[in-house]
Homo-oligomer: A and B are copies of this chain.
Amino acid sequence: MSDSKVEKESKNKKRRGKPKKSLQRYFDAEHGIRNHWWPALFSYELKEDDVQGITIAGERIGLRRANGKVFAFRDQCAHRGVRLSAQPTCLTKDTVTCWYHGFTYNLEDGKLCDIVASDNDPLIGRTGIRTFPAEELCGVIFVFVGDEDYETPPLQHDIPNKVGDDENLRTPCLQDEDALALGIHRDCLGDWRLAAESGGDPGHIMIHRKSALALSLDTALSLGEPVTGADSLRIWDKEWPKGITKFFDNIEPVMHRDDLNIHTYGKRPPDGLRVSLCLPSILFVENWPLPGMTQYEWYVPTTHGRHAYWQILVKNCPTEMDKEDFTLRYKNVWEDLALKAGFNDDDIFAREAMDDFYTNRNGWDEEQLFSMDQFVVEFRKLVHKYARGIQPPPNEL
């Protein structure tokens, strides 16, 4: 009888190993990547004088709107670490006060500027909480999560508005003057990297072929990406954001496999569909769910092993009537049919199904990527090469 150590060793022989070094920063980024802009809340979720607390990449971030402007700060009192947002207390327009012992911080620079019952305390002016750059764009509040001394890049560097630098390829985007952006965000199980890959991965389209969205629009979704479509990939790493696009308009999608008794149900392939994935973790789907619309998704790392799944549809609406019309259709059709049960809930199912393998079973070592995964591989390279920083675990923040 072999002894148990030998038994275990023999099990280990089959480990495949991965060329980890060439993607090391990607593999290190389980808590997120750093020095990027992330969506925090919809603008309507933060009303004047509201204080809300969120978590991005393990950072507890407080948001307050004062005189219309959004301020973001570490949501953790310097004193004993409670979240300021746990019981919002704002005594003046330019401060936020900790509900517990009255530590009062300046919203602009985070400095401790007062303590309610001890206004001459020697600690005043000598400590504080860090602040984060915050901006609003098209109804979404974005926060720059990174080093305090990092020179903050423009928000536009982290938001796609076209495929690379190709001005000819434009669909409605958040930066457009007439854009109306409507959507949702929710907390989901799963590593943010796997979520991003599962969103961008062209090979998984098969799971959507019977979706309510495809059936109701009579859209024929490919059973996956044909290998011949490999040249339909474009990487854009000259400017920000760095990303990769899959063109679906110059390939012949696989719609039927008669020998396997499988086919797709709709009649017409989607028109002008392009799927891009870019840093920090954004899916950008053009001409979707219908031509003339764009779907954005973010997979925002929150706490370890979870992410906020952001989904936004953008349409240009020059008139009030356009806005009303899109809003009506969004609430009554698209939210459910495109973003939830009719389509994207399938993606959430798939992401959660991957989780155990990567979390508990050496998925990063054991996975066997194949030709259809070029998109995934290129995204990993982009993260490794261009992420502006790797997020440490919460206890090192």
- Interface on A for B, CB 8 Å cutoff? 1, 3-4, 7-8, 10-12, 24-25, 28, 34, 76, 78-83, 86-87, 91-92, 97, 99-102, 104, 114-123, 127, 147, 201, 203-204, 206-207, 222-227, 253-254, 257, 260-262, 349-350, 353-354, 356-358, 360-363, 366-372, 385, 389-390, 392, 394-397
Task: Let me know if B102 and A224 touch, CB within 8 A.
Answer: yes
Whether A81 pairs with B361 at a CB distance below 8 angstroms is yes
- Closest Cβ–Cβ distance, residue A57 to chain B (whole Å): 12
**What distance in Å separates the Cβ of A370 from its nearest Cβ neighbour in chain B?**
5
Residues A123 and B362 in contact, CB atoms below 8 Å apart:
no
Contact A371 B122 (CB under 8 A): yes
CB contact between A225 and one of B3, B117, B204 (< 8 Å): that residue? B117
A256 to B65, CA, bound (A): 26
Contact yes or no, A11 B397, CB < 8 A? yes
A118: which B residues are within 8 A, CB to CB? Answer: 224-227, 254, 370-372
How far, in angstroms, from A121 to B203 measured CA to CA in the complex? 13
| Given contacts A11-B396, A122-B371, A99 and B207 within 8 Å (CB-CB) | yes
Q: Is there an interface contact between A100 and B372, defined as CB atoms closer than 8 Å?
A: no
Which 8 residue pairs spanning A and B have beta carbons closest together? Answer: A81-B357, A117-B224, A82-B353, A117-B223, A117-B254, A91-B260, A4-B28, A123-B370
Residue of B nearest to A206 (CB): B102
User: Which single residue of chain B is at the shortest CB-CB distance from A194?
Assistant: B80
CB distance from A79 to the nearest CB of B (A): 6
Contact B11 A366 (CB under 8 A): no
Contact B116 A224 (CB under 8 A): yes
- The answer to whether A396 and B80 touch across the interface, beta carbons within 8 angstroms, is no
Q: Whole-angstrom distance from the CB of A348 to the nearest CB of chain B?
A: 13
Give complex CA distance A80, B119 in Å: 59
Kindly list chain B residues whose C-beta atoms are within 8 Å of the C-beta of A206: 99-102, 116-117
**Contact between chains at A81 and B367 (CB < 8 Å):** yes
Contacts of A87 in B (CB 8 A): 207, 349, 353
Can you name 7 A-B residue pairings with CB atoms under 8 Å? A81-B356, A86-B349, A91-B257, A102-B223, A102-B224, A117-B206, A122-B371
Interface contact B82-A357, CB-CB below 8 Å: yes
Closest beta carbon of chain B to A74's beta carbon, Å: 11
| Docked complex Cα distance between A116 and B261 (Å) | 10
**In the assembled complex, which residues on chain B have CB atoms less than 8 Å from the CB atom of A353?**
82-83, 86-87, 100
A394 to chain B, nearest CB (A): 5
Taking CB as reference atom, which chain B residue is nearest A384? B1
Chain B residue contacts of A396, Cβ below 8 A: 8, 11-12, 362
Q: Max chain B CB contacts within 10 Å: which of A3, A76, A206?
A: A206
Contact (Cβ within 8 A) B7 A389: yes
CA distance A257 to B115 in the complex (A): 10
Further pairs besides A76-B361, A116-B223, A118-B254: 18, Cβ < 8 Å: A3-B24, A8-B392, A81-B361, A82-B353, A82-B357, A87-B207, A91-B261, A100-B350, A101-B201, A101-B203, A116-B260, A117-B223, A117-B224, A117-B253, A118-B224, A118-B226, A118-B371, A118-B372
How many whole Å from A210's CB to the nearest CB in chain B?
11
Task: List residues of chain B with CB within 8 A of the CB of A201.
Answer: 101
